[in-house]
Structure formats: C-alpha cells, structure tokens
Chains A and B, each alone.
Chain A
C-alpha cells in the first residue's frame, strides 16, 4: 500500500476515490476481511505513469493554487482524478483547457445523447487497443445508462453507431482517405442517418480519443486502480510490477538498466542537447542567407513524407490487448498504412487552402457551437506553450523546435505548409525521436518504455510530456482537417 502510506495532500483527492472504489470491492474494513477470505485489491505501485518515476510527477506539497483548483475542478467534473490528469498537470495551463474541452464534449449540451458519447469514446480508444480509456469509458457508459449489450461489440450497437465504424477506422489510421462519400453515407442512411451536428460532435469525439490514446501510450499511463490491470490480489511482497509490463518489456529490471545506461551516457546526452541548440542557432542565422530553390523545397517535403513511413521501431513486439471489451471493437486487419507503400497516390493536403483557423473552426463552431472555440484555444495553448527552457538551458526560444515537431506530424499525414522548409525537420529531429513520434502518433499501442527513454535523454520528464501534448494536438488537428474538409466538400 505504498500509495496509501505516502499519502499527501496532492493525493488526497485521488485516494478518496481509489479507496472508495477499493473498499467497494473489498467490502469494508481491511483487517477483518482478510480473515474472512475476501481478496483485497492492491494498487500496482507505479504511480500514474509507468514511464515516469512516481516521485517525479508531483512532489509532496508542491502543487500550487492553480493545480489545486484544477484538481478540484477535475474531480468535481469526473468524480475522479485520473492518471491522465495527474500526468498532464505538469502543464497546468494546458490541462485546464483540456479538461474544459473534455467536460464540454462529454457532459454539456450537445447533439448526441450521453451514452452515445461514451460509446464513441470506447470505439475510438479501442482502435488503438487502449484498454485504459476503454475501461474508463465502459464504466462511464454504464453509469449514464448505456445498454451493457452494446459492449459485446459494435455489431450489438444500433445501426447508426455501426455506420460510424468505418469513419472511425479511416480516421484513426488513414485520415487522408476520407471523402465526401463517407460523409454522405452517414448523413443519408434513412432512419439511421446522422445529422450534421451529430456528425461533427462524433468526429470531434473520435479525434479526441484517438489522440488521447496516443497520449496514454506515449506517457505510459498506468491503469486506474479500479480497472483491470490497475490492481492485484496478490500480497505486495510477491510481486510489485504489472504483468503486462513484462510483456511490454517495461518491468523494473529493465528500468534499472535504462537508468544505469542513462548515467553512463550523461556526457553523450549532454552533447545531444548542445548539438540541438547549436543547430537551432545555425538555422536561425543562415535562414536569410541561403534560399533553397522552389523545387528543392518541394522535394524536401516529399522526402520527409516518404521517409516518415520508414521510420519505425525495429522491435516489433505485439502487445496483447488486456480487456475483453477492447477486443470486440478491433479489426486488426486495418491499421496505419503509409501513403505510397501500396502504390497509393495521395495528393498533398495544402494547409493554405484549408486550415483550422479559417475553415475548420468556422465549420465546427457553426454545427456544434462553442466547441470550435474550445478546441481552438486548446490548439493554441499546445502550440504556443513554452517555458523557454531546454533541458538544463534557460531562455531558449523553442518555437523553431516546436514548429518542426508539429509540422513533422502533419507531414506524416500529408499536410503541407507552403511556408515551411522541411529540411529543418531533419536537422532538428534525430532518428530515435522520430521513431518515438511516429509510433505515438500512428501506432501508439507499440510504444515501449525503451522508446520513451531513448529520445532526448537529457530532457526533463515534463518536457517529454510537453512533446506528447504537441503530438496529440497535432494529430487531432490533422484528423480534424481531413474530416472537416470532407464535410465541407459534402456541403458545397
């Protein structure tokens, strides 16, 4: 019961929930029940994230008034303080916007009934076999009165939701394939048809949960104590790591190794940071002097786009999905595929012709009022968030690096910025970082702790979480752009 003994103010709220739930399962006083032969669930002590040491996440009493308020709000809205919140609180400014948006999407006025919303969340998270989110939303789904039968698989849900399955698949793995025919199919299905407002709500939910699944895997979020995999019935002395960690290669021995490896190569990674800063400086200076030709610029984008599909982690471990519910929704035959791997030619998406700020926002806000504003705010915060630090350096202008990450993700989705020199990406993002980005964004279920540890070794955990925020927001925007463009085309 490490969690309980190290209880501090920051954890009181979360403990209140987890203990409540724990107690519900064990049914009362702990000491007596053991004698009665009732199995008591114990948390698997990893803290909120398997990748980030628990002590790094929130120091005792270190939460300030703002974080405290956020916790309070989050607890009031969700009735729990989940691990995602505890990890995101590294960046309270973003977290606030995130929670506000999520709360609006799930609980406030909207075209879709509450149980539909959670069900769509389950559908989306299950695309990435994200049992963490699936578990959370299965509970919520039942809580708002959803029909448990639906959880046996999409074919048990109403036809209307089944129709959404195709869009979910395409959106999660190959959003560039979405056409106005997909939209038309959903809107004109007679009694099972979606209204435009409902569809926009659904699309926002799908993209939100696809990218949240990326975050969950990207930061190695631990299962909640009341969910499968979040607790064990074994006495703590026997095992203190999670079964699924072994399959992931994340067990504690591994952690030790990585740590020691990190110590050995401190000087290496120190140079890594120095080198990165040096490159940024060079790019800043030489930018105005030497101008690449038009063809050069165009080919740089194509090269980056093409290369991005070969960037893949060498270790192809298969992760077995943990939860039954999740399995019902999978269609593993359909996964992320790169553009031209099968000779498919996908025209480049020009952001200057359809961008979030001008077009996407207007469409969303028109069909699902206020949400455009909330998402817009979230994008802005994620994109502009900076503390002007890089690892141990202060007062660094990181805008170039952030833009490179953002545009790299969009580049993977075929979205091109006319005014960006894609050569910068190669200068700023090294291979291990690209592997991580690519995996988190496209196949988050394959992220391992090794990947997390091997990029930007000298950087702080909070900075890695920051990277994750950029990844998920860029991914969400990319998916939204494709979906909304298809809707716009349908409407015109």
Chain B
C-alpha cells in the first residue's frame, strides 16, 4: 500500500492499476509505443499495426490500423511512436523507407495521414519532438536524418551522417533544439535542429553499431546508449567532451534502452538476439541486473514504461507475437540467486575469499590463521539505502596475502630451469637432476632420482629398489619413498640418541650383511632389539625368510618376502645420516668397480660417502645381482609418481615421466598423464617459464599435449615505445613462444627494417594466457547453460591492481556474474577496439 500511495502522488491522483499479463498478437511485433494517457499501447510490426487498450485484467484490441486487403510495404513497420502531446497522432517508420503519420481523429477507417517518401532505404527510427506538436524526426539506413514539419508536405531539413546508417534518433527532453543520433559505425552525434550543415559534436561510443539511445528524463546531461558490443553506456554530455559515467555489460547485443521513470539510476534493456529477457539495471551496480522479466519466448523487440512518472509498469512487445505488461513487484531478482561466495588463488599465491557478509561477521571473532595477514577489506561499499540490493547479496571480500617469502616458489623455478629432461643417457639425467634437487635442499626428491637411476640404468641393480618396493608394500600406503627416506629428511625431528643407537646397530648389521647367508636374521635381531620407530609392519613375518626363496624371487611372488628386504635398506641411509665424512669420488669408484669387498673395506667405503645410495649399491650389488628386471618396479614407480602428483609436486611427476619415457608411460593411463602435463605446463607458464614449458610440450608423448605446440603459437607483440600492436610485422616473431631471453621469455628480438628492436612482450603473453584459462577449445555456449563448475566459484581476472581486480562469480545456477572489486567508481575502462580484454573461464 505504501507503494500505491507513492504512485498516486506521482500521478496526481489517478493511480495506475493492473497486473502482470500478456496477450497474443497475430504477428511478431517490431516496436511498441504508449499513449500519454497510459491507457493505450500501439504495436507495430511487419504485418501488424494495432492499438490495444490496457485494462486492469487484460489487453483489449481497440483499433486495427492496417486497413485494406492489399499488403503494402508502407505498413511494414520498423518503428512506431505515439506523440506525447497529441493523443491522436502517431508516426511509423517503414522498412521500405517511407515515413507515415496517422491521425486517429480522422473519421474514415483509414487513419493514414501523411506519407513521406524521401528516404531511399529503410527508416530505422522516428521520433516526435517532446514539446513541439508538429516536428517529427526520422533516421534511416541511407545515412540521412530528416526533420519533418507535419504541416508541410516535405522535410524541413536533412542531416547527413556521412553515408553511415542511422540506427536511432532521439530528441533531447530538456534542450529544445538538440537531438542525438546513433550510427552503425559506433558513433553518436549531437545535432542542433537549426543547423543541418554539420553536427555539434561526435564521439565514438561503441565498437560496432549503436542500436539505441535514450536521454535521461530528469538529468539533462545523461544519454544512455546500447550497442552490438553488448554494452550499455551512460554518457555525461554536459562536459566539454562526452564522458562515460557508467557502463553496463550485458550478455547480448542491446536492442533498446529506456530509463526507468522516477528512478534516477535505473534503465531497462532488451537484446537483439539470443537473450529474450528484459533487464532493469541499476547503472551503479552494473554486474547484476536489479530486476529481470522472463516472460518472452523470443527476442523482445520493443519496451516502454507505461507512464512517464510511474516506475512499476513496463510494457513490451516481442517476436514471439505477444504483448506483455510487467509489474515490477513480479520481477525476478537475479541477485537473490547470486551466490556471493567464492575462493580463489591469485597469481602470487594470494588468496581471495568472498562470502556473505553475515557469515563473515559471525566469524569475526575468529583468530586469523597463523601466517596470514588479514588484508583490510577494501571491497565493502558504503551502503546506500536507496539501492535495491541492500541486505540481499552484500558480501565481504577478504584477501589473504602471502607473507613475503613464505610462498616463495623459487625452488620450483630453479628446479624447472635446471632439470635436464632429455638429450643424455638416463643415468646422467638422473644424476644431474638428483644433484639439482639436493642443491636446492630437496633431499627426498634427490633420493628419488638416485633410486630411479639405480632401478633403470645400473646393470643389475634391481634389488636396491626392490627393497624399496617391499617397504612400500609393507607400509601398505603406496607411499614407499616417503616412508623410507623421510626418516632421513626429517632427521632433525628425531632424537639424536635414537639415531646414534640405530646407526650403531645398523653399522653392525651392515658388516654382517656382507656375509650373505646370515644377513637377514642378524638384521632382524637388530631391529627388534632396538625397538626403532619404524612401523611395526616392517617387522612382521620376517623370520621365515629363507635364502633360496630370496634369490629365486620372481615378481609375482615378491610380496611374502617383503620384510626381509626392508631391513638392510632401512639400515644404510640412517647410518649415513650420521656419518659426516665428505664424499670422495675415488671411493665411489672403488665401490662400483669392486663390489665384492671384504667386510672391513666395505664398511669403510660405505661410511665414507654422504650419498647413501652409493653405499646401497655397493651392498646390494653384492647381494642380488640382476635378479629383477626393471619392469618389476614400474608399478612402484607409478605409485611414486602418483604420490608426488597428489602431494602437489606435479613437477616431479612430469619430469620423471619424461626422463623415464617408455619405461613407465604405458603403466599410467593417458588421461592422468595429460592431466599432469597440463597442470605442469600451466604452472610453468604462470612463472613465465616459456622455454621450459615449450620443452615439456615438445617432449610429451601425449597427443593432446603436443598439439598445444601446434596451435595458437602466435605472439601478439607490442612496440616497446608506442605500445601499439605490431600487427603488420607480427609474423616475424610468430611461433616464437619459448624462444625467450634470459628472463624467461620476457623479451624477444624482433625485427623491422633490419634494425633489431627490443620488444617487450611479457604483457602480451600474460594476456594471451588469460584468454582461455580453461584451454583452447572452450567457449561460452548459451546463457544459462551449465557452467563448468557445479559448485559456486569465484575467478579472478588477472588484470589490473587489487583495487580494480575483476572477478567472476559462478552461481550454482544461472548466468555467471562478473564484477569488480574496489572503489564504487571503478568500472571497466572504455572499450578500445583491438585491445584484448580479459576473458574469463567460460565453460
């Protein structure tokens, strides 16, 4: 009732009543217009031209203006307008270029009044002067606008748009002499009706045709324009240069735009194609429509507010041959469906988290996680009680920054750059990579590489890793290396005494071990007596280990004997952890050359090097010579790769995969491999490691991956001085991805006129990357189609400063909702043709 009373005052006593309703027309409508009494609406189309009375419960056909049996193109209307001063006066624009006026006061059945056949092409728009009774303006495809005085037979003046087609003309509501016209080439012109020789002002508003414009009913300076580029822009025309004050990005080209009466910041739009809904936007909140009308089944072609002072009734005509009256209170509000929650990592490890404000405040007492520094919430806007969204979907965004250094991924970068993946024998590759890993302090990885070397390249070293294998089985968690070597890696955590004890025992066992016949039993004794911190499984079922069985092992029967293998292997690394003698190469040499050494020698030798694996070799070599083919380990290695991948070290998984090549590839399914590759390549590219990523792509055997190199290898290169794209010569550096400079491909030498020129392409590369974060072959299909993520999500555009960072909300249902965090004034910049805008993850 409160609403009603307000309406009543606005209308000066005669309140509008009605309900949401529709009526079927005989043919698709092209345009509608409302009589100033707000009780009649005219609908025009190719084969319809009727006046309907708007009653409380229904539309009632009042008059059919198409008279006569002969179909005439003069009646094929592209546009219709009802005079706002004179209830009897209408004008239509015909597709064949004729402008017709209609006088409802004529007594005959044919109400046609005047016929102007001056335009050579389709007339797109007609417009009456808001206060002058006899002035009519038309805009046509032939590039001319004509002003007619209805008291005369011909046009009064002609305005030339320089052969560009005119799509819309609108008289200014406040300035008596001014009108705006929009053009197919994206321009908007302002004309003084008295000066047909040239326009007062011209500016480019959109990329591609500007289909419509509308002057603000109260604010004299504001003009809203809508274009094929899916934008609605609001221009402030009072300043010297037209200034874009608001911009709304819709999901389809904008066919009509109409300011909402009595609501300063609201406007209604409908689209030309694909999208059938009518949206009412608050231009200050350009990402989520304030209201949405979903009645039509085909594109909406005409919209009109029923009364210039009533904001709650909207009329619309559509290609689906219906005429609708929408009530604002029946509108659906997309904001209710928006799910304002999301989580996303930024480029440098920052974490952004948006949630419903209520949830955040409820948890405000919560102590922030250690190591996280809560960033001031820069996202929260001052709430304006006039806004329609209050309380509906206000969300708070928190950004957790990485503490400098803590999230450092320098090891990743170093590793990626220094690893050798191909071009040398396997053993060398493994050694090299182990060395790299060790130098970066990643001992577990280093060990893994060493193990791999042992498994796959040393002659007859199978057994060394078979021990490993058995450990894995024994611990039955599929993470063999973690268990066996982590002990060493985590050494600081262990009591030093324990280690000393163990090492003593181990040393002893080692000595004995050389005498192969007694080894196992002794070892077991050791372990048991020490009561080590090794999981108990290791010690199970051990005793029945018979030597013969051991030696005749074949892969199928490996499992029962697991524990026996455990023990010697377990022993050595622990011991060497303690022994701190620097490694001597000659010692290693010795061991390799003469594995069968006496007990004391072996002891000395294996005590000397820090690198435990070599001591392992020396021992195991003696023990199990070429018993097991490397194939035997592939299942194990695959487990290991999966383990690394699951731990998030996809780098290791992929590197090993590449280095080992055929040896393991067949054991891992193609899809998993592809997944690893894409993740790793994605990571590499985030760190601008173009060379490495290119190498990885090249070395990959997965077809889906290697074709990444075949497509979209073009770089968009901008000149380092003028920042403009060097399109004409761009091909010279096309396909150059990966051919970068020392800083990871940030700079390339490209050439014009023979003089080498430094081209800064990092920015270009970033943009390239953000284009299709989901991979090359995905695109938006239809609005409202299933989005890639079932769960709600938030995706950052990698663009701009934190204050202007764009994001995209993916609600559980409905279209994705883009947004910008930052100051309320922040809006996407003006569209520049040719500039690449960030493209978000469309499914």
A contacts, CB < 8 Å to B: 69, 72-73, 76-77, 107-111, 114, 144, 195-197, 287, 291, 294-295, 297-298, 350, 352-353, 357-359, 361-363, 366-369, 373, 376, 418-419, 488, 491-492
Name the residue of chain B whose CB is nearest to the CB of A197.
B779
Name the residue of chain A whose CB is nearest to the CB of B320.
A492
Residue B348 at the A interface, CB < 8 A?
no
B714 touches A111 (CB 8 A): no
A362 touches B781 (CB 8 A): no
B780 touches A366 (CB 8 A): yes
Task: Report which of A110, A366, A418 forms a contact with B252, defined as CB distance below 8 A.
Answer: A366
- Give Cα A44 to B328, complex, Å: 74
8 Å CB interface, B357-412 against A? none
**Given A108-B714, A109-B772, CB of A362 within 8 Å of CB of B253:** yes
**Given A195-B781, A352-B78, CB of A294 within 8 Å of CB of B72:** yes
Residue B494 at the A interface, CB < 8 A?
no
* Residues of A contacting B72 in the complex (Cβ-Cβ under 8 angstroms): 294
A368 touches B779 (CB 8 A): yes
**Given A144-B710, A358-B273, CB of A492 within 8 Å of CB of B70:** no
**Given A294-B72, A362-B252, A367-B781, CB of A108 within 8 Å of CB of B272:** no
Task: Report which of B70, B78, B209, B273 forms a contact with A488, defined as CB distance below 8 A.
Answer: B273
8 Å CB interface, B118-141 against A? 120-122, 141
Which residue, of B70, B273, B320, B772, has the highest number of chain A Cβ atoms within 10 A? B273
Residue B298 at the A interface, CB < 8 A?
yes
A350 touches B46 (CB 8 A): yes
Name the residue of chain A whose CB is nearest to the CB of B776.
A109
B276 touches A492 (CB 8 A): yes
A287 touches B782 (CB 8 A): no
* Residues of A contacting B46 in the complex (Cβ-Cβ under 8 angstroms): 350, 352-353
A419 touches B141 (CB 8 A): yes
- Chain A to chain B contacts (Cβ below 8 Å), 29 pairs: A69-B728, A73-B731, A76-B731, A76-B734, A108-B711, A108-B712, A109-B711, A109-B712, A109-B777, A111-B779, A144-B710, A196-B781, A196-B782, A287-B120, A294-B74, A297-B73, A350-B46, A350-B95, A361-B208, A362-B273, A366-B780, A367-B781, A418-B96, A419-B97, A419-B120, A419-B122, A488-B273, A492-B298, A492-B320
Residue B157 at the A interface, CB < 8 A?
no
Task: Report which of A69, A352, A363 forms a contact with B76, defined as CB distance below 8 A.
Answer: A352
Determine chain B's interface SS by DSSP, over half rule: loop
Name the residue of chain A whose CB is nearest to the CB of B209.
A357
* Residues of A contacting B73 in the complex (Cβ-Cβ under 8 angstroms): 294, 297-298, 418
Minimum Cβ distance to chain A for residue B590 (Å): 53
- Give Cα A361 to B781, complex, Å: 15
Q: How large is the interface on B (under 10, 10 to 19, 20 to 34, 35 or more residues)?
A: 35 or more
Name the residue of chain B whose CB is nearest to the CB of A70.
B728
Name the residue of chain A whose CB is nearest to the CB of B46.
A353
A111 touches B777 (CB 8 A): yes
Minimum Cβ distance to chain B for residue A200 (Å): 10
Task: Report which of A76, A107, A368, A418 forms a contact with B711, defined as CB distance below 8 A.
Answer: A107
- Give Cα A350 to B319, complex, Å: 14
8 Å CB interface, B224-242 against A? 228
- Give Cα A337 to B527, complex, Å: 92
B779 touches A369 (CB 8 A): yes
* Residues of B contacting A107 in the complex (Cβ-Cβ under 8 angstroms): 711
A294 touches B781 (CB 8 A): no
A359 touches B711 (CB 8 A): no
A359 touches B272 (CB 8 A): yes
A492 touches B297 (CB 8 A): yes
Residue B117 at the A interface, CB < 8 A?
yes
List 7 other contacts, CB 8 Å, given A352-B46, A362-B253. Answer: A69-B728, A107-B711, A111-B779, A196-B781, A196-B782, A358-B253, A362-B252
* Residues of A contacting B734 in the complex (Cβ-Cβ under 8 angstroms): 76
- Give Cα A488 to B731, complex, Å: 37
- Give Cα A363 to B707, complex, Å: 29
8 Å CB interface, B759-776 against A? 771-772, 776
* Residues of A contacting B209 in the complex (Cβ-Cβ under 8 angstroms): 357-358
B76 touches A418 (CB 8 A): yes
- Give Cα A359 to B72, complex, Å: 25
Instruction: Indicate with 1 or 0, residue by residue over B706-743, a CB within 8 angstroms of chain A CB atoms.
Output: 01001110100000000000001101101000000000
Name the residue of chain A whose CB is nearest to the CB of B276.
A492
Instruction: Indicate with 1 or 0, residue by residue over B188-228, a CB within 8 angstroms of chain A CB atoms.
Output: 00000000000000000000110100000000000000001
**Given A367-B781, A368-B779, CB of A362 within 8 Å of CB of B228:** yes
* Residues of A contacting B711 in the complex (Cβ-Cβ under 8 angstroms): 107-109, 114
Minimum Cβ distance to chain B for residue A275 (Å): 24
* Residues of A contacting B714 in the complex (Cβ-Cβ under 8 angstroms): 108
- Give Cα A108 to B712, complex, Å: 6
* Residues of B contacting A359 in the complex (Cβ-Cβ under 8 angstroms): 272-273
Residue B540 at the A interface, CB < 8 A?
no
B70 touches A72 (CB 8 A): no
- Give Cα A297 to B771, complex, Å: 50
* Residues of A contacting B506 in the complex (Cβ-Cβ under 8 angstroms): none
* Residues of B contacting A419 in the complex (Cβ-Cβ under 8 angstroms): 95-97, 120-122, 141
Minimum Cβ distance to chain A for residue B509 (Å): 58
* Residues of A contacting B74 in the complex (Cβ-Cβ under 8 angstroms): 294
B781 touches A363 (CB 8 A): no
A491 touches B782 (CB 8 A): yes
Minimum Cβ distance to chain A for residue B766 (Å): 17
* Residues of A contacting B570 in the complex (Cβ-Cβ under 8 angstroms): none
- Give Cα A369 to B782, complex, Å: 13
- Give Cα A107 to B777, complex, Å: 13
Minimum Cβ distance to chain B for residue A368 (Å): 7
Task: Report which of B76, B78, B781 forms a contact with A197, defined as CB distance below 8 A.
Answer: B781
Minimum Cβ distance to chain B for residue A436 (Å): 27
* Residues of B contacting A76 in the complex (Cβ-Cβ under 8 angstroms): 731-732, 734
* Residues of B contacting A369 in the complex (Cβ-Cβ under 8 angstroms): 779, 839
Going nearest first, the 8 A-B pairs with the smallest beta carbon separation are A418-B95, A76-B731, A362-B273, A352-B95, A418-B96, A294-B72, A419-B121, A362-B253
Minimum Cβ distance to chain A for residue B49 (Å): 15
Task: Report which of B94, B120, B273 forms a contact with A363, defined as CB distance below 8 A.
Answer: B273
B777 touches A110 (CB 8 A): yes
Residue B635 at the A interface, CB < 8 A?
no
Residue B184 at the A interface, CB < 8 A?
yes
- Give Cα A73 to B729, complex, Å: 8
Minimum Cβ distance to chain A for residue B615 (Å): 50
Name the residue of chain B whose CB is nearest to the CB of A418.
B95
* Residues of A contacting B707 in the complex (Cβ-Cβ under 8 angstroms): 114
Minimum Cβ distance to chain A for residue B299 (Å): 8
- Give Cα A429 to B480, complex, Å: 84
* Residues of B contacting A196 in the complex (Cβ-Cβ under 8 angstroms): 781-782
Name the residue of chain A whose CB is nearest to the CB of B271.
A362
* Residues of A contacting B228 in the complex (Cβ-Cβ under 8 angstroms): 357-358, 361-362
Residue B274 at the A interface, CB < 8 A?
yes
Name the residue of chain A whose CB is nearest to the CB of B298.
A492
- Give Cα A111 to B777, complex, Å: 5
**Given A109-B711, A196-B782, A352-B76, CB of A357 within 8 Å of CB of B184:** yes
* Residues of A contacting B94 in the complex (Cβ-Cβ under 8 angstroms): 418
B78 touches A294 (CB 8 A): no
* Residues of A contacting B97 in the complex (Cβ-Cβ under 8 angstroms): 419
Name the residue of chain B whose CB is nearest to the CB of A353.
B46
- Give Cα A72 to B734, complex, Å: 13
- Give Cα A396 to B333, complex, Å: 57
Instruction: Indicate with 1 or 0, residue by residue over B277-299, a CB within 8 angstroms of chain A CB atoms.
Output: 00000000000000000000111
- Give Cα A114 to B776, complex, Å: 12
A362 touches B274 (CB 8 A): yes
* Residues of A contacting B297 in the complex (Cβ-Cβ under 8 angstroms): 492
Name the residue of chain B whose CB is nearest to the CB of A297.
B73
Task: Report which of B70, B272, B731, B772 forms a contact with A77, defined as CB distance below 8 A.
Answer: B731
- Give Cα A362 to B231, complex, Å: 13
Name the residue of chain B whose CB is nearest to the CB of A96.
B728
Task: Report which of A73, A108, A418, A491 forms a contact with B274, defined as CB distance below 8 A.
Answer: A491
Name the residue of chain B whose CB is nearest to the CB of A484.
B273
Which residue, of B72, B729, B777, has the highest number of chain A Cβ atoms within 10 A? B777
